[in-house]
Amino acid sequence: MQSMAIVLIALAAVGQARFGKEGAVQASVQALSAFGSPGAAGTLAGQTPGVLLAGANACAKLSLADQIVQELGTDPEVLAAAADLVAAEKNFNPSAQSIPTICSDATLPATEALRGIVPLVDPAVVGSDVENANSPQSVKTPFDATGLSVADVMKAQGFSNFTAQANA
């Protein structure tokens, strides 16, 4: 019985390590309350966890990042929070799928300052070390995304272990 409790505690710790990361992005958007109309930052922040869920369309977070900029403006703080969302790891359920889904819509994100930023991927995915090194680099200096989707940019930077997903 005691060993079962230890296993459950260990599983909970691992789950916490991989899930719940949406909160950091949500907090960075919530902190933008001085921008846009009253309540807009809170409303947008409330949408961030949903677009990072494993079952969400991969393009939804890019559309939301564009919406954040449209509603809150182009201040560097707003752009940084939107970039955090673009670069955020989308939850991934390895028991339900073997590789992540990445947006293949070349029109997203539409905000020029967000183009060329690539997301983190679950470390359990083969090749994730390459992508997880590319992502923070792309936040600082976005890759060339002229005419390319996020999926195309990721492939051009050496990571292709994903399923491309169109905007639904």
Q: From residue 64, give the alpha-carbon distance in Å to each of 44, 61, 167.
A: 8, 5, 12
48-97 per-position pLDDT tens digit: 999 999 889 999 999 999 999 999 999 999 999 999 999 999 987 777 78
3-state secondary structure the chain: CHHHHHHHHHHHHHHHHHCCCHHHHHHHHHCCCCCCCCCHHHHHHHHHHHHCCCCCCCCHHHHHHHHHHHHHCCCHHHHHHHHHHHHCCCCCCCCCCCCCEEECCCCCCCCHHHCCCCCCCCCCCCCHHHHHHHHHHHHHCCCCCCCCCHHHHHHHCCCCCCEEECCC
Tokens of 144: 């060339």
Alpha-carbon 24 to chain mean position: 11
Radius of gyration of the chain (CA): 17
| Cα gap 42→20, rounded to integer Å | 18
The structure's pTM equals 0.87
Instruction: Using alpha carbons, select from 100, 96, 97, 94 the residue that is nearest to residue 119.
Output: 100
- pLDDT tens-place values along the chain, 168 residues long: 444 433 334 334 334 444 455 588 999 999 999 999 999 999 999 999 999 998 899 999 999 999 999 999 999 999 999 999 999 999 877 777 889 999 999 999 999 999 999 999 999 899 999 999 999 999 999 999 999 999 999 999 999 999 999 998
